[in-house]
Amino acid sequence: YQITNVGELQSMIYGLDKNYIVMNSFSCDFAPYNTGEGFLPVGGVPTWPPQAALIFSGTLDGQGHIISGLFIDRDTSDYIGLFGCINGSANLSEIGLTDVNITGQLMVGGLVGLNYGGTIEYAFSTGMVTGGGDSLGSATGGLVGRNDGTIRNSYSAADVIDGGNGTGGLTG
């Protein structure tokens, strides 16, 4: 499936096991994606351990394109990022996120809240990522909140704010 705008990006919530390719750079910085709670994370998981049917298990090939202005304001929700949770079948590659403004409670990242065995390569993020400050470990990172998978050739220059344990520049 081809993605050319934020509406198509948001529609990935209806095909968590599909393969996607980003065809061009685009902005998410307009209503309804920059107001209220903003963008709904793809593969957001409300339970632990994550339920397979709710996890992103497909692929996203960004082809080196940039998605700018991703806004998520869900300060009482967990598994927050462009992708809430990805599993071992997921592969995210060659994607850049700039000027993100993302707020969540636990497992919060610019690209992925929880990498539950997936592969991320040639990805980056800039902007601001804010976690809930849980003293037991919020798992907040500029690119990935909690990483139980593989990250290669990726970086984050995002500001990460979280008063709890498990906070890092690249991963929490």
Rounded mean pLDDT, 15-41:
96
Beta strands across the sheet bearing 167-168: 108-109, 140-141, 167-168
DSSP H helical segments within 11-103, as ranges? none
The letter for the amino acid at 103 is T
The model's confidence at residue 17, banded by pLDDT at 50, 70 and 90, is very high
Q: Where are the beta strands (DSSP E) in 7-136?
A: 19-22, 26-27, 59-68, 71-73, 83-87, 91-103, 108-109, 112-116, 119-130
Q: Is the peptide bond before 32 cis (omega within 30 degrees of 0)?
A: yes
Identify the DSSP state of 41: P
Q: For 37-58, what is the mean pLDDT?
A: 83
Q: What is the mean pLDDT of residues 130-144?
A: 85
Residue 46 has pLDDT above 70, yes or no: no
Residue 103 confidence (pLDDT): 96
pLDDT tens readout for residues 82-127: 999 999 999 999 999 999 999 999 999 999 999 999 999 999 999 9
Q: Which of 23, 59, 24 is nearest to 42 (CA)?
A: 59
- 39: region left, alpha or beta (phi > 0 left; psi from -120 to 50 alpha): beta
Q: How many C-beta atoms lie closer than 10 Å to residue 171's C-beta?
A: 25
Residue 33 has pLDDT above 80, yes or no: yes
Q: What Å distances lie between residue 172 and 67, 84, 142, CA to CA?
A: 22, 14, 8
Taking the C-alpha atoms of residue 71 and residue 85, their distance in angstroms, rounded to an integer, is 17
| Confidence tier at 136 by pLDDT (50, 70, 90) | low
